[in-house]
Structures are given as structure tokens and as C-alpha cells.
Structure 1
């Protein structure tokens, strides 16, 4: 088989290719933009941006969390996280409190309004899952591969 007649799946493995269709990074970028755009109308109804929604997901799972642990969970730097938290606090969805046992640490807690928003957000994962059109197995495989890719690229894998 000549290089020009290779199927697309084989050409994707060619090292050093500068063809757009051969770039995994572009496929990730396009998928990320498409999914984030699909979230937009759903989150607009909740008054949240996508990054704010991610913060709320963590808080709905763990009501009280340190800023450091929240940043770690979301893989966000403090400089990116702080403005998100300020906007969510101004919107009455969370509050930031200095921890009594460690004045240097700030705990993030849901307000009553933040906790109530969880019920309104319940349909979001279902709508996004439906839009993605993946089987449960494909969904699990995609998450597993993306987590592996993230670990490999960030160098956080065990040696």
C-alpha cells in the first residue's frame, strides 16, 4: 500500500505528519469546543458558565473543601480559580471562610441557594450524555483514554 492510499486510521499513526486530520490534539480541541458549546444553553438557564459549573459539581459532591483541594480537583491554578469563586460568591452560591484550625487555609462551602441549584442542574448530565450519543461502554472507554492521556502529558504517571 502506498502512503497516499493509506486509510485515515493508519495515517493517524504516522509520526511527524502535519496533516490536520492526523492531529489528535485537533480532534480533542474540536470535541472540547463542541461539547462546551452544547453545555452553554443548559448552563445559561442556571446562570453558570462551564468553569463555574465544574466548581459547583465539586461542591455538590463535597460541600466543604479547601481552595487548594478544589484547584487540585479541577486542575486549575489559584489565579484562575479565585475569580470564579468570587463570581459564585457574589451570586450567592457559595461562601469562602477562613478555617479556624488554619488561618492560611480558606474553606469553600455551599450556600442554601448553591445547594438548591443542584436540583435544577440534574438534567444537564443526561442532556449532554444524550447529545454525545455514546454507549455506556464507549463513555467509560473515552474517559479512561482521556485520563491516561492527561496523566501522560502532564508527567504525573508513576515511573
Structure 2
């Protein structure tokens, strides 16, 4: 008998798994962003935090966590490093000391101009038309929403 697994033997095949396609695509995407972000001295996680703050400055840690699907235990060390890099400030809310307000510094705000180039640079790398990228993103948003309902 042949030791090779066939698609019909009931054992999941790696290349047939959506989870692996998402995982390996995420790794490839992160690798590309790492190259772009290196010029700015940012990690991908830091870039995500900055994007949230560029949309709306002065948010609580929990507000940022909600947008990024991260808990405060994961987010707090990241925010502390960003504060040390002088990209943002962390200040306790006057009306509720349990809340920490995160605000951009001038340095964090200035990075926005450089980051404006990223979407078009990435689109060129994708090898897809814009409408295909928009459709994929919408499908992934639906998938994420469905998955979050079950967690």
C-alpha cells in the first residue's frame, strides 16, 4: 500500500484548509509590511495602533483594543514601548483613573504622511485588481464576524 495520503482517505490535507490559506497569507503580508515599516522604525502592531489613532485621536486602551481585537494585557506593553519611542502618550482619565487615554505625539502624527503611500505600494504587490482586493476584504470581514460570534 502507498504511504501517500490521498484527498479521499479522510485525513485533512494542508493545502485544502482555509485556516492554512489565511495563516500563510497573513505571514506573507506581514513580511511585506515589515519591509515597508522598517523605514519608519515600526512593527506591524505599532502601525495598526497608529492607524486607529490617525482615524480618531485620544482613545482609551479598551477602545483601541476593540478596534484591533486585542485585550489590554497584550496591548499595554505595546503602548508602553510606543510611548518610550515618543509616538504617543498615555494619561489616566481625570474622571476615571482606571481608564488610560492614548494620544498621538507630533512624531506619531507625522508618520501618517509616509504611511499614506503604503496602500498603493501594497496593491501593486498583490497582483490583483482593486475590485478583487475590495471583494476579498469584504469576504474576510464577514468571515471574521461569523467566527467572532462563535468565540
In the superposition, the TM-score normalised over structure 2's length comes to 0.89
- List alignment gaps of at least 5 residues for structure 2: 1-6
Report the Cα distance in structure 2 between the residues aligned to 1:134 and 1:40, rounded to whole angstroms: 20
- Higher mean C-alpha displacement, 23-32 vs 136-145: 136-145
Q: What residue in structure 2 maps to residue 57 of structure 1?
A: 51
Deviation at 1:134, TM superposition (A): 2.1
Match of 1:6 in 2: none
Corresponding residue of 2:118 = 124
Distance 1:47 1:82 in 2: 19
- Out of 72, 79, 82, the residue aligned to residue 73 of structure 2 is 79
Is 1:134 aligned to residue 128 of structure 2? Answer: yes
Pick one of 103, 108, 132 that aligns with 2:102.
Answer: 108
Q: Distance in 2 between matches of 1:104 and 1:62?
A: 21
CA distance in 1, matches of 2:142, 2:112: 29
Residue number among 27, 32, 42 corresponding to 1:38 in the alignment: 32
In structure 1, how many angstroms separate the alpha carbons of the residues matched to 2:107 and 2:25? 32
RMSD: 1.7
> Larger relative CO (CA 8 A, sep 6+): 1 or 2?
1
Runs (4+) off by over 6 Å: none
Provide the C-alpha distance between the structure 2 equivalents of 1:127 and 1:144, rounded to a whole number of angstroms. Answer: 20
Residue number among 56, 69, 81 corresponding to 2:63 in the alignment? 69
Aligned equivalents of 1:113 and 1:120: distance in 2? Answer: 12
Q: Distance in 1 between matches of 2:83 and 2:128?
A: 35
Q: 3-state DSSP class of the match of 1:117?
A: helix
Q: Distance in 2 between matches of 1:81 and 1:133?
A: 33
| In structure 2, C-alpha distance between the alignment counterparts of 1:32 and 1:107, rounded to whole Å | 30
Shift of residue 68, structure 1, vs aligned partner: 0.5
Structure 2 Cα separation of the partners of residues 143 and 69 of structure 1: 22
